[in-house]
Amino acid sequence: MAFIKPFKAVRPKKELAEKVAALPYDVMNTEEAIQMAAGNPVSFLHISRPEIDLPREVDVHSEPVYLKGRENLERFLAEGALLQDETERYYVYRQKMGSITQTGLVVCAGVDDYQTGTIKKHELTRADKEEDRVKHIDALNANDEPVFYTYRHDAAITATIDRVTQGTPLYDFTTDDGVSHALWDIADPKLIESLTVSFAAIPTLYVADGHHRSAAASRVRDLRRDANPKHTGSEEYNYFLTVIFPDNEMTIMPYNRVVKDLNGRSVAEYMARVGERFEVTPVSGAVSPGERHQFGMYLGGKWYELTPREDSFQENDPVASMDVSILQDNLLSPVLGVRNPRTDQRIHFVGGIRGVEELERVVNSGEYMVAFSLFPTSIEELMSLADEDKIMPPKSTWFEPKLRSGLFIHLLD
């Protein structure tokens, strides 16, 4: 049973929505955030990446950064760039990117559901990133960026949401990357109750993107509960900001890999080792794998197609048979020495939205020596693994389009 509740969103004044909206904090570095926010005093990056307003030498994980985020949020509210709705509502958020359309319900999910497993995870979190989000959320007193959830689609819920989108949206704009964004609100108490009841019949929600934000919201709730002798369980800090999309509208792109060196081996030695676990076929053009268990490798200005040998992995193991696992277990770890991809500084991950051209670019630049293109993980794999309480390898999924931040915020009191 999935519990969801409406909330009083803090959101941009209509004419500022496009200027406020920003990409999520974790798809850019500080320098990129500075460039994106340049000349735009209402960019949400001033809240989600507040270090852009401080001297460069300030540690991005230090208290002045978190306090600056709080200061900027208060400024946006004081100046009227952000306003809070007077009644609790649900919201519908639709994105279109080329032929892809995804329409999600913006709600507050319950920390209790996250802690008891009604909301299922498929990735581990890194302690440093989780701690950063705890401090950020706690300082803001708000969930400023939503978690991206999915569920096995339900025809009745889809029909209800489709009816809502027949009305006039609160916002409707297209960002520089060609993605369109539209938002509707649901203020009718009967419709709110209907959706709440419908989701109560959904047994499981799945974290698609936002494991660190989910874990941080859980920890912030526990901190505030423990500090509140009058805690009842109904306080806003018991809930966190979520957009829930049906599984049949989700798009997962590959999460490709590049590695800085060949682990002390010559090209010939390296290729010989790769050939022990893979059939290696030189090809004339870039490889964007079209099926599971097919990989592309770019090395020395040439592309190769890699096919794992039958005895190199266990097809009946749901984790070991994932393509990210096959590459890690048969090449990245034993040949290139990347034994912990979470912490090894020699490996970098490239979202599939950048295409195989980005792999060629970073290798040709000399910054990295070898690149690998993968077939994307499916949403069915993600949900099946989560149902079995299994954990995917890191960087297994890249979801597109990315949710824009700043269009709705949940205050914790």
What's the CATH code of the domain at 348? Answer: 3.30.1760
pLDDT at position 1: 78
In a domain, 334, yes or no: yes
Bridge partners, 398 (sequence order)? 253
Sequence-separated (6 or more) residues with CB below 8 Å from residue 290? 375
Q: Give the integer Cα–Cα distance in Å for 119 and 237.
A: 17
Contact by Cβ (8 Å): 161, 169: no
Q: Give the integer Cα–Cα distance in Å for 308 and 332.
A: 13
In a domain, 190, yes or no: yes
Helical segments of 320-373, H only: 323-327, 355-364
In a domain, 238, yes or no: yes
Residues 42 and 164 reside in one and the same domain: yes
Helical segments of 228-322, H only: 267-277
Residues 171 and 270 reside in one and the same domain: no
Residues 301 and 330 reside in one and the same domain: yes
Residues 44 and 144 reside in one and the same domain: yes
In a domain, 386, yes or no: no
Q: Give the integer Cα–Cα distance in Å for 340 and 327.
A: 13
Q: How many domains does the chain divide into?
A: 2
Residues 234 and 360 reside in one and the same domain: no
The answer, yes or no, to whether the previous bond of 64 is cis (omega within 30 of 0) is no
Total residues found in the chain within this entry: 413
In a domain, 214, yes or no: yes
Instruction: Give me the DSSP letters along 197-212.
Output: HHHHT---EEEEE-HH
H or E stretch covering 226: helix 211-227
In a domain, 385, yes or no: no
Residues 220 and 260 reside in one and the same domain: no
Residues 154 and 247 reside in one and the same domain: yes
From the list 15, 139, 53, the residue with the least C-alpha distance to 412 is 139
Half-sphere exposure of 168 (CA within 13 A, CB side): 1
pLDDT at position 310: 86
- What parts of the chain have a pLDDT lower than 50? none
Structure tokens at 247: 């599984």
In a domain, 391, yes or no: no
pLDDT at position 342: 85
pLDDT at position 343: 87
Structure tokens at 338: 């990347």
pLDDT at position 265: 97
pLDDT at position 270: 98
Residues 301 and 406 reside in one and the same domain: no
The parent domain of residue 133 ranges over 4-252+400-411
Residues 93 and 218 reside in one and the same domain: yes
In a domain, 381, yes or no: no
Helical segments of 250-403, H only: 267-277, 323-327, 355-364, 379-387
pLDDT at position 137: 98
- pTM value is 0.92
Residues 191 and 307 reside in one and the same domain: no
Half-sphere exposure of 325 (CA within 13 A, CB side): 15
Tell me the pairing of strands 171-174 and 347-351: unpaired
Residues 110 and 24 reside in one and the same domain: yes
Q: Give the integer Cα–Cα distance in Å for 130 and 121.
A: 14
Residues 248 and 260 reside in one and the same domain: no
